[in-house]
Chains A and B, each alone.
Chain A
């Protein structure tokens, strides 16, 4: 079964996303910030990434760019409260395959992950 890397600085969000994903049969790896996300992407080699944007140490857009430069085929979807037009554009331009604005329903998250892993 696919492994998903969940990146968010809020323990509450990591817990919620992990629950949704593991109940649907996915393996879950977590990271608390962009720096950890890049490191875990390299070490765990997940099938897809759900990336928050507003985080300490390194934000999600920067982490997205680093992951994409390491692996251009990386499958990353942003999951963030930062739903601004310019931010969506930047994320897509930098290679994000989807952009979910929080809060999002469990079904929306699963649909996005399923599309990513297809």
Chain B
């Protein structure tokens, strides 16, 4: 019962976050990026990785930890080639210009993670009247499942259920542009359940 209320509340917040993030992404890349209605679920399966080309597929992205009234994890992942295309769009270059994740490309990806992640965090903060501080982004470049399962396992190991939200977004051509995962720490899940009740 409490879990249902929590999922419902987070789904509403997630939709607000999706709108804010979509606006941010569209502004950054100069084209319409739409975000699918986010999936809020208790526990997560490896199928979250399908959005980025499968478990073993290499992804490039950013991780932020959240502190403040709620603590937890935010992670934005793209298949590598897609991330580099985003960098090109952000730099006003023809897609295909950036061919490897050099320092500037990594910084751009980090900033993308910062903007999209913060958009969701801002929705959580404003909708639930909280103050939340995301950390500066950590750039990540690894196999999709290794990253997703590490966040999942860390939260699970602290006890309680894992509440994860994953949102997939796509560009004007309908191609998957990325995957966003938001997971509050178990102590924060308890707090959120009280707010939802």
Complex: A13 Cα to B113 Cα, angstroms: 13
Which of B118-126, B147-155, B174-182 has 4 or more CB atoms under 8 Å from chain A? Answer: B118-126
Which one, B35-43, B101-109, B156-164, is touching chain A? B101-109
Q: Roughly how many angstroms separate A15 CA and B107 CA in the complex, as a whole number?
A: 11
Choose one: B91, B103, B119, B135; the contact of A81 (CB below 8 Å): B119
Does any Cβ of A come within 8 Å of B186's Cβ?
A: no
Residue in A12, A80, A87 with the greatest tally of chain B CB atoms within 10 Å: A12
B107 and A81 form a contact (CB under 8 A): no
Task: Let me know if A12 and B104 touch, CB within 8 A.
Answer: yes
Using known A-B contacts A12-B104, A54-B134, determine if residue A81 contacts B110 with beta carbons closer than 8 Å.
no
Interface contact B108-A12, CB-CB below 8 Å: yes
In this complex, the interface size class of chain B, counting residues with CB under 8 Å from chain A, is 20 to 34
- Kindly state whether residue B131 has any CB partner on chain A within 8 Å: yes
**B132 engages A11 (CB within 8 Å):** no
- B104 in complex: contacting residue of A11, A82, A85, A105, CB < 8 Å: A11
B133 contacts A by Cβ under 8 Å? yes
- Contact yes or no, A81 B126, CB < 8 A: no
Q: Does the CB pair B136–A55 fall under 8 Å?
A: yes
Q: Which single residue of chain A is at the shortest CB-CB distance from B117?
A: A81
A residues 62-84 with Cβ under 8 Å of B? 80-84
Closest to A9 in B: B136
| Interface contact B133-A54, CB-CB below 8 Å | yes
Q: Would you call A43 an interface residue if the criterion is a C-beta within 8 Å of the partner chain's C-beta atoms?
A: no
Task: Collect the chain B residues with CB atoms within 8 Å of residue A13's CB.
Answer: 107, 111
Distance, CA A56 to CA B125, complexed state (A): 21
Task: Give, as a whole number of angstroms, the nearest-CB distance from A15 to chain B.
Answer: 7
A residues contacting B by CB (< 8 A) are 9-13, 15, 54-56, 59, 80-87, 102-105
